[in-house]
């Protein structure tokens, strides 16, 4: 009886061991299988991930609620040029249905995350606008032609990946394009009152908008150095300071996200002699829409130059 019991216990343990081994084997196979079928079986909600909230907001105004849009950079205190994404953000990019970026080398980190995906995802870049060429200004969210082109390209891509909601994407795109036209009309009304006036900036962030307003941008050597994260040459600093002291510029715009001593000295000097200073941002403040944010910037320019917008 004792021997039979021992054999029975042995057989029971052997059976349990086999079942356990099969369970472990199944568990090790499931992740690989799930990863293979994930694009077609687990993504019940379509998602888009934008590098910056400037483009993310524009994308959301077209895509929501049919495609959920999130942005990686959402805080104006972050310098997009120096940003290093976290593993969690890399995962968001990996899992997204669509990707959105400024392009033009501005957010190369987003391109790197996209290239690391196990399967490619469609990406809309603002530099796909036909008017942009290598070496041009990369701050495309202040370029209304680039913004309107982006909306058109993103709308078409939404309709491609989600044809069931084509009408919704079309309607929301038309509403957004009308808002962009309203900003364009504001600029057109202001331009005759201020065009030709000399202005300066510490970085070329503001330049596309200044160009559309007909302003004459000075101190470009200083701007280029700051954008490339190097100290401007002494000659560029001296020229900028002299133009301020001699009041040869009517306005000084500065990037509030890139604070360095040489910039702060020039801002202080401009305030001292009574030249208006205009803070501009690369990342929108929370709770804004692109059209209200840019339109307010246009109004701020008019106020600084003493004209009715």
**pLDDT reading at 217 higher than 50:** yes
Q: Is 20 exposed, middle or buried (0-12, 13-18, 19+ CB in 10 A)?
A: exposed
Q: According to the model, what pLDDT value does residue 3 have?
A: 39
Between 32 and 267, where is the model more confident? Answer: 267
Closest CA to 223 of 248, 242, 244, 240: 240
The architecture (CATH level 2) of 47-182 comes to: 3-Layer(aba) Sandwich (3.40)
Q: According to the model, what pLDDT value does residue 224 have?
A: 84
**pLDDT reading at 292 higher than 80:** yes
First CA to last CA across the chain, in angstroms? Answer: 102
Q: How high is the mean pLDDT of the chain?
A: 86
At 309, is the pLDDT very low, low, confident or very high (cuts 50, 70, 90)?
low
Whether the CB-CB separation of 217 and 211 falls below 8 Å is answered with yes
Beta-bridged to residue 252, according to DSSP, are: 200, 277
Tokens 């057109």 sit on residue: 188
pLDDT tens per residue, range 83-105? 899 999 999 999 999 999 999 99
Q: Which 3 state secondary structure label does DSSP give 277?
A: strand
pLDDT tens per residue, range 140-182? 999 999 999 999 999 999 999 999 999 999 999 999 999 999 9
CATH class of 190-304: alpha beta
| 218 phi/psi in degrees, rounded to 5 | -115, 180
Cα separation, 26 vs 127, whole angstroms: 46
Closest CA to 178 of 147, 132, 209: 147
Beta-bridged to residue 123, according to DSSP, are: 99
**Which pair of structure tokens corresponds to residue 98?**
């669509």
Where in the chain do CATH 3.40.50.1980 domains reside?
47-182, 190-304
Cα separation, 120 vs 97, whole angstroms: 9
Tokens 């065009």 sit on residue: 195
pLDDT tens per residue, range 56-88? 999 999 999 999 999 999 988 887 877 899 999
At 35, is the pLDDT very low, low, confident or very high (cuts 50, 70, 90)?
very low
Q: Is the dihedral of CA 158, 162, 167, 169 positive or negative?
A: negative
**pLDDT reading at 12 higher than 80:** no
- Specify which of 1-10, 24-33, 68-77 reaches the highest per-range mean pLDDT: 68-77
């Amino acid at each position: 009886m004792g021997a039979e019991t021992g054999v029975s216990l042995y057989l029971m343990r052997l059976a349990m061991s086999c079942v356990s081994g099969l369970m472990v084997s199944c568990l090790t196979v499931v992740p690989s299988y799930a990863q293979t079928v994930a694009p077609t079986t687990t993504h019940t909600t379509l998602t888009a991930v934008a590098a910056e909230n400037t483009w993310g907001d524009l994308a959301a105004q077209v895509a929501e609620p049919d495609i959920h849009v999130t942005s990686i950079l959402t805080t104006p205190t972050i310098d997009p040029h120096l940003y290093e994404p976290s593993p969690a953000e890399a995962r968001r990019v990996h899992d997204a249905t669509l990707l959105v970026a400024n392009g033009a080398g501005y957010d190369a980190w987003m391109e790197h995350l996209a290239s690391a995906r196990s399967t490619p995802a469609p990406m809309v870049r603002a530099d796909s606008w036909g008017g942009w060429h290598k070496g041009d200004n990369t701050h495309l969210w202040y370029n209304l032609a680039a913004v309107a082109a982006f909306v058109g390209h993103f709308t078409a891509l939404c309709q491609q990946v989600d044809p069931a909601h084509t009408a919704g994407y079309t309607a929301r795109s038309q509403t957004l394009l009308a808002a962009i036209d309203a900003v364009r009309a504001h600029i057109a009304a202001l331009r005759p009152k201020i065009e030709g006036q000399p202005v300066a900036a510490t970085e070329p962030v503001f330049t596309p908008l200044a160009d559309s307003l007909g302003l004459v941008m000075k101190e470009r050597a200083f701007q280029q150095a700051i954008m490339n994260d190097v100290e401007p040459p002494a000659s560029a600093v001296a020229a900028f300071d002299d133009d301020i002291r001699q009041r040869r510029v009517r306005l000084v715009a500065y990037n509030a996200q890139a604070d360095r001593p040489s910039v702060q000295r020039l801002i202080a000097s401009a305030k001292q002699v009574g030249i208006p200073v205009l803070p501009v941002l690369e990342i929108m403040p929370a709770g804004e829409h692109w059209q209200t944010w840019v339109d307010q910037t246009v109004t701020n320019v008019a106020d600084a130059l003493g004209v009715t917008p």
